[in-house]
Structure 1
Amino acid sequence: MNEIERGRGVALWNQISGILAADILKGQLRQGEQLPSAQELAARFNVNRHTVRRAIAALEQRNLVRTEQGRGTFVQEHTLDYPISRRTRFTQNMRNLNVEADIEVIEDVREVPPPQVAQSLGLDRHEYTYRIETLSRADGHIVDYSTAYFPAARFSGLPAVYRRVLSVTRTLSEFGVTDYERKHTRVSARLPDANTSRLMKQPANRPVLYVQSINADTRGIPVQYGITRFSGDWVQLVLMADN
């Protein structure tokens, strides 16, 4: 059915939502494809844009579409199952999922970290860390925005190495840390702050998966404190049995 029927006791927005859902489920609207604008849909169904927006909201609740700020509404793709284990590695996870991944460095600074970070890394109150901010993409979509802290005294000059290799594992390896394990992981859902919302191009009212972690070398000495904000639209975290 491609047309709505007035006067049959079913709200117009509900009919429009049903038509578009059928198009998605039949593959007439493909995964990742952009839906027509609210104005175009309003003209197609001869309704106002408020009715169209309510229909789109219903599709979002069913996780059939997603809306990106400033871009439009898209058919939802399947989420990525992102394993979290004792040896969580972004590049390896993406390779296992057979998706093309890349990492963009947003910022790197040398600074005294917040007290919680210093304590987690076993540092004195005024010791320095390197803080590196990155955006990770999979098949062109932003999947996470990460903040990583590394002890500056132990890893002098680390940011330059990281920018060259774009891998935590390879960076630490150049400093003699040939292996490391996840010592601690805490997962929660929270609303993104303004900076996170801007960088991830995600509405401020849509929660992100907020993961705090500590990685330690084979002697149990912390080498990295991380905060990763995953897009709930793209990522499903899978906690592996070895946690």
Structure 2
Amino acid sequence: MTQSRRKTPIWQAIANALRLDIAEQRYLPGDKLPTEAVLSERFGVNRHTVRHALSVLVDEGLVHTRRGAGAFVKSAPAEYPLGKRMRFHQNLRQAGRLPSKRTLSLETRAATEEEAARLKLVAGDLICVKHGLSMADGQPIAISESHFPEARLPGVAQALSEETSITKALTKVGVADFTRASTRIRAVLADATHALRLQISEGAPLIYSTGLDVDDEGLPVEYGMTWFCGDRMTLTLEDD
């Protein structure tokens, strides 16, 4: 009687082959894997089987997918120090990453009582509200909402429309230097809008940070709220 042989499921064989490709550095961190169509041709299977194999690699943390963009080899989380001087571009460059920012919206409006209290203004004073998207090596890593005291720093809205760097924008309105006065961090889950902007799944873990920056006289120049991708960022506390 011939003993039956246990067969390896084809999706598992595909996952094993892709693991080997990654281990032997045919695809480096951040590289895009071939499309489902190309992988289907390579292995002679349908896309559903390829998708199953990729989902296993996603669960293992080797690969991540971006909605409408494909599957990518997971990069190591970007190191981002939290200290007295928070400088996005400088911090990421020091970590060996290419930083970029995109302004999603910019508006000037009256401050609520809570917003005014944070910025040491009077309710109804003008503030500039900026929503932005931050990226490392072209991959979204954080979305942010920042409030600036337009009443105290006239022209800051115009400066922010001209500069993606907050440091450069504040320099234009006379803030030569600023430091972090306080930072608070907690874990939250991504809602539908977070997921869309960050190209992650709804319910994925995020690191929510709020911070207040002040000038050399101790007056607030920015109150910021940032939602970092939990698996793309490592926040480190530093003593300046």
Would the TM-score normalized by the shorter structure come out above 0.5? yes
**Amino acid of the residue matched to residue 100 of structure 2?**
D
Aligned ranges 1:169-208 → 2 under 5 Å: 169-208=167-206
**1:37-186 matched pairs, under 5 angstroms:** 37-42=35-40, 44-45=42-43, 49-113=47-111, 115-186=113-184
Paired with 2:205 and 2:126, the residues of 1 have a C-alpha distance of 31
Give the AA of the match of 1:77. S
Aligned to 2:208: 210
| Secondary structure of the corresponding residue to residue 241 of structure 1 | coil
Question: Cα 1:28–1:7, aligned 2, differ >3 Å: closer, same or farther?
Answer: farther
Aligned length: 237
The sequence identity of aligned pairs, in percent, is 33
User: Counterpart of 1:187 in structure 2: which amino acid?
Assistant: I
Report the Cα offset of residue 34 of structure 1. Answer: 2.3
After the TM superposition, which of the residue ranges 99-108 and 45-54 deviates more from structure 2? Answer: 45-54
- Structure 2 gap segments, 5+ residues each: none
State the one-letter code of the partner of 1:202: I
Paired residues of 1:104 and 1:136 also in contact (CA < 8 A): yes
Query: Which whole-Å CA distance do the structure 2 matches of 1:164 and 1:178 have between them?
Result: 17
Match of 2:221, SS state, is: strand
Residues 68 and 203, structure 1, Cα contact 8 Å, conserved in 2: no
Q: 1:31 aligns with which of 29, 32, 55?
A: 29
Return the TM-score normalized by structure 2: 0.84
Matching residue of 1:17:
15
Cα distance in structure 1, aligned partners of 2:223 and 2:45: 52
Corresponding residue of 1:236: 234
CA distance in 1, matches of 2:136, 2:160: 19
Distance change in 2, residues 1:98/1:43 (3 Å): closer
Q: After the TM superposition, which residues 219-234 of structure 1 pair with which residues of structure 2 at under 5 Å, given as runs?
A: 219-234=217-232
Offset at residue 81 of structure 1 (A)? 0.6
AA of the residue aligned to 2:194: T
Q: Cα RMSD (Å) of the superposition?
A: 2.6
Give the Cα–Cα distance (whole angstroms) in 1 for the partners of residues 41 and 217 of structure 2.
Answer: 65
Q: Distance in 1 between matches of 2:89 and 2:42?
A: 44
Structure 1 residue 69 displacement after superposition: 0.2
Contact 2:210 2:224 survives alignment (8 Å): yes
Distance 1:187 1:40 in 2: 42
Code of the residue aligned with 2:187 in structure 1: it is A
Q: 1:220 to 1:189 in 2, by over 3 A?
A: same
Secondary structure at 2:167's aligned position in 1?
A: helix
Counterparts of 1:175 and 1:34, CA distance in 2: 42
Tell me the TM-score normalized by structure 1.
0.83
Change in Cα spacing, 1:85 to 1:7, as seen in structure 2 (3 Å) is farther
